[in-house]
Structure 1
Amino acid sequence: MPSDPAVPTPGGDLTSFVVVAADSGPLLEECVASVLAADAVVELVLVDNASGDGSIERVLGAHADDARMRLLRNPANLGFGPACNRGAAVARGDVFVFLNPDCIAPRDLATRLRAALATDPRLGVLGVQVTDPHGAPARGNRRREPTLRRAMVTLSGLSRLESRWPALQGVEAPAAEHDGLETVEAVSGACLVLPRAAFERVGGFDEGYFLHAEDLDLCRRVRDAGFRVAIDPRVRVAHAQGTSSRSRPLFVARHKHRSLWRYFTKFDPAARNPLLRAVVFAGIWAHFVAQAPLLALRGRRRAAR
């Protein structure tokens, strides 16, 4: 039965979706419509990071009368994590779903997520099987702690040999053989689900990240707080990956490299070695510099269309 479009009652059984938009294009309308079509009691907090592409106005034109949706406008692009925190601060549900603006939520998503959370009170983060628009599983659904060693194994391609030599574990983790909840170290940030209690226990997203790696950081701190991080592969969410960032690839890449450096210095024991720290810093920014000309050209081509 569809949700009552009246203002949701705060507290139990209310699932709060937080969607952050930043020039997110036409898929934002589809994302919002899919959330509001839920078969459970939901609210949607739409946080706008100063979009100028008309997407917010189109959403308001279609859903301004739906009391389940609230819009927060930021005067500038604050970044993903800070915007999520602002959305969570006004959300009224006992479960938060942080959903990318280029994801489409199935009608039963909230119902199935709450059922999964109810199976284990220790669940602090729940992920889903994020897929591309054609249904193929996306990368990053199951991730390990991205230590320096694992990152190097992944970059070298040696992680493809993990099934034969377990010592060559990379950042990506294989799927479990069973069909139930899988305990993992980190899940995809495209659809990130947390009980309010766990989110508040760790203080939400680390606002030192502007874009990328804030999901890894959150999963790490949730695990450190004694909660379980898991994925339910039976729940699927389609994601048109990168829709919001394709028009500004250099901007996104710069923040991605900055976030990788922050995560490394915050959590990796290797960062305590001054020599390794210097080598990693040089490697991260050398990689960015090598990419920059092609990314800048790509951005100019998209802007000219």
Structure 2
Amino acid sequence: MTAIVVARAVATNATGQSTLDLCLRSALSEPWVDDLVIVDQANAPAVSSALRALQLDRRDVRVVVADARMSAAAAANLGVAQARGRWLLFLDSDVVLQRGAVQRMATSANGAAAPWIVGGRLTDLEGREKRAARGGALNTFSALAVAMGLPGVKRARGKRKSSKPSAAAPVASVSGAFMLIGREDFSALGGFDEAYVSDAADLDLCKRAADAGGSVLLQAEASGVQFERQRKGRRQAQGLARFAVKSAKTPLERMFALFAGPAIGALIGLRDAIGGRRGGRR
């Protein structure tokens, strides 16, 4: 298995350390991870130098440099081109894995319909769960729900097919910040759509997997801690607007797609403004 980490414009503290250091250590400590590909994109010279030093020190680490103008999806695809494993673990540079998480995700894929994608659970530093998956089905209007921070429609609960506590749950999508997929499946799906600048490429990949008759699963017993980041609203709006356009099938969806960009941008701006006021009152 190859872990792929896109390290873009990594911020460091006064001592030169960053969450990337913790992320890489957690990935390399996982027994199921055979090699690690780090995509060095738009980083300060000190960060790039440290990554090259790590590559020289370890045979299981490779560093590839991505142009700063590349989209996040293109940078991830560049990392895949350097991967050796038959499974690909995509990990954001601010995610630190819980011990054993990769094994739990990998075993969840046994018997799953291909192309399959398995995601893990994400929490913040205080242990609060972050939205790493969506229920229901993905369509054009899912872009609105994501922009507003709304959860997906929950599936009706029936009898569990497996009594094992480690059984993964079918979902509509999982986060690209913590995602496992077979390399052959990734190639068959055409990889990430490189037109997504920073957000929603994971939604798009999951939708294409489901449309192809595959499985999208969430393994809640595989978890990672994701450090807080400031999201750039305009970049998120671009990705969600593209997702809305690509997903439009019905006349109503196509009509909405015509105005998706401005509508989603306005919603994200309103969401961030409300969130900022709430944060200031704490």
> What is the match of residue 163 of structure 1?
none
Aligned residue-pair number: 263
**Cα separation, 2, equivalents of 1:55 and 1:172:** 41
Gaps spanning 5+ residues in structure 2: where? Answer: 12-17, 276-282
One of 204, 211, 214 as aligned partner of 1:217: 204
One of 277, 283, 287 as aligned partner of 2:263: 283
| Equivalent residues of 1:117, 1:126 under 8 A apart | yes
Residues 1:23 and 2:3 are matched in the alignment: no
| Equivalent residues of 1:143, 1:185 under 8 A apart | yes
Structure 2 counterpart of 1:36, one-letter code: L
> What is the match of residue 82 of structure 1?
74
One of 216, 226, 233 as aligned partner of 2:213: 226
- What SS class does the counterpart of residue 207 from structure 2 fall into? helix
Shift of 1:37: 1.4
| Equivalent residues of 1:17, 1:43 under 8 A apart | yes
> What is the match of residue 71 of structure 1?
63
In structure 2, do the counterparts of structure 1 residues 241 and 271 end up closer, same or farther at CA, with 3 Å as the change threshold?
A: farther
Alignment of 1:84-103 (within 5 A): 84-103=76-95
Which deviates further from its counterpart, 140-149 or 16-25?
Answer: 140-149
Structure 1 counterpart of 2:213, one-letter code: G
Higher RCO structure (Cα 8 Å, ≥6 apart): 2
One of 238, 248, 253 as aligned partner of 2:225: 238
Shift of 1:210: 1.0
| Equivalent residues of 2:117, 2:179 under 8 A apart | yes
Alignment of 1:110-189 (within 5 A): 110-120=102-112, 122=114, 124-147=116-139, 149=141, 171=152, 173=154, 179=165, 180-189=167-176
Structure 2 counterpart of 1:194, one-letter code: I
Residues 1:259 and 2:239 are matched in the alignment: yes
**Cα separation, 2, equivalents of 1:276 and 1:121:** 32
Larger Rg: 1
One of 26, 40, 43 as aligned partner of 1:48: 40
- What SS class does the counterpart of residue 212 from structure 1 fall into? coil
Structure 2 counterpart of 1:54, one-letter code: A
**Cα separation, 2, equivalents of 1:36 and 1:114:** 16
| Equivalent residues of 1:147, 1:268 under 8 A apart | yes
Structure 1 counterpart of 2:34, one-letter code: V
Shift of 1:201: 0.8
Q: State the TM-score, normalizing by the size of structure 1.
A: 0.75
> What is the match of residue 108 of structure 1?
100
| Equivalent residues of 2:143, 2:244 under 8 A apart | no
Shift of 1:213: 0.3
**Cα separation, 1, equivalents of 2:272 and 2:104:** 42
Q: CA RMSD in A?
A: 3.1
Alignment of 1:196-215 (within 5 A): 196-215=183-202
| Equivalent residues of 2:174, 2:218 under 8 A apart | yes
**Cα separation, 2, equivalents of 1:175 and 1:38:** 35
In structure 2, do the counterparts of structure 1 residues 281 and 226 end up closer, same or farther at CA, with 3 Å as the change threshold?
A: same
- What SS class does the counterpart of residue 3 from structure 2 fall into? strand
**Cα separation, 1, equivalents of 2:196 and 2:187:** 18
Shift of 1:43: 0.5
Percent sequence identity over aligned pairs: 25
In structure 2, do the counterparts of structure 1 residues 109 and 63 end up closer, same or farther at CA, with 3 Å as the change threshold?
A: farther
Q: State the TM-score, normalizing by the size of structure 2.
A: 0.80
| Equivalent residues of 2:19, 2:93 under 8 A apart | yes
Structure 1 counterpart of 2:216, one-letter code: V
> What is the match of residue 3 of structure 1?
none
Gaps spanning 5+ residues in structure 1: where? Answer: 1-14, 160-169, 296-305
| Equivalent residues of 2:233, 2:269 under 8 A apart | no
Structure 2 counterpart of 1:18, one-letter code: I
**Cα separation, 2, equivalents of 1:142 and 1:290:** 22
| Equivalent residues of 1:140, 1:172 under 8 A apart | no
**Cα separation, 2, equivalents of 1:147 and 1:263:** 9
Structure 1 counterpart of 2:107, one-letter code: A
